């Protein structure tokens, strides 16, 4: 039997079936914690933050358009929560204009599944993730670890799709540079 989609479950919650929200928590708790650990580079307070994400998601469930995908919507809430945590720690650089989002970028093609990272390489990257600025870390984690499409990442981060590709490419270059310095 096919599993009920996230969107169908969310629709049930919107209709008043509060218990159905438990299914969404089960499906996303681990993923959001994992994203938080990698994005914030800490496991401290992640559980509380993810709990707040679900509280916000439940409170605002009627703002979710069930004709769209649920995953980017909840990741968007989580991303905002984590960015706010970074801001509180003054670890998130403030900028009015981000050059990556101002000018049109060459459309960076999404790589095929075969080019996704294998487990060993993922571990190596994870060790260097903290050297990346948050704006590069987020798309990299969402793409390689959460296996999201460029379009979904663009919706989570609210940036142009082409910018997602550019940031992932730059993130890889920066990681490569950091790796070369450690192991020349």
The string of DSSP codes covering 27-88 is HHHHHHHHHHHHHHT--TTHHHHHHHHHHHHHHTGGGS-TTS-HHHHHHHHHHHHHHHHHHH
Does position 106 interact with other proteins (CB under 8 A)? The reply is no
Say how many residues touch other proteins, by CB under 8 A. Answer: 33
Q: Which of 41, 51, 80, 149 binds other proteins (CB under 8 A)?
A: 51
Does position 50 interact with other proteins (CB under 8 A)? The reply is yes
Q: Which of 5, 17, 22, 45 binds other proteins (CB under 8 A)?
A: 22
- Judge whether 110 and 149 are in contact, CB under 8 Å: yes
CA distance 76 to 44: 20
Binding span for other proteins by CB under 8 A among 22-30, 83-91, 116-124, 125-133: 22-30
User: Which residues here bind other proteins, judged by CB under 8 A?
Assistant: 14, 18-19, 21-22, 25-26, 29, 47, 50-51, 54-55, 58-63, 97, 101-105, 154-155, 158-163
């Amino acid at each position: 039997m096919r599993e009920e989609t996230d969107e169908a479950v969310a629709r049930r919650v919107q209709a008043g079936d509060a218990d159905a929200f438990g299914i969404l928590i089960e499906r996303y708790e681990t993923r959001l914690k994992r994203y938080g650990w990698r994005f914030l580079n800490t496991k401290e307070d992640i559980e509380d933050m993810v709990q707040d994400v679900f509280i916000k998601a439940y409170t605002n469930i009627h703002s979710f358009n069930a004709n769209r995908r649920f995953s980017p919507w909840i990741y968007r809430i989580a991303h905002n929560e984590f960015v706010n945590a970074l801001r509180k720690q003054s670890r998130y650089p403030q900028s009015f204009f981000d050059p990556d989002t101002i000018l049109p970028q060459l459309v960076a093609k999404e790589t095929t599944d075969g080019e996704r990272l294998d487990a060993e390489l993922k571990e190596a990257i994870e060790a260097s993730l903290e050297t990346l600025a948050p704006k590069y870390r987020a798309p990299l984690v969402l793409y390689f670890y959460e296996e999201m499409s460029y379009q979904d990442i663009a919706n989570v981060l609210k940036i142009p799709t082409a910018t997602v590709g550019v940031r992932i490419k730059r993130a890889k270059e920066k990681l490569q540079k950091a790796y070369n310095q450690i192991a020349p």
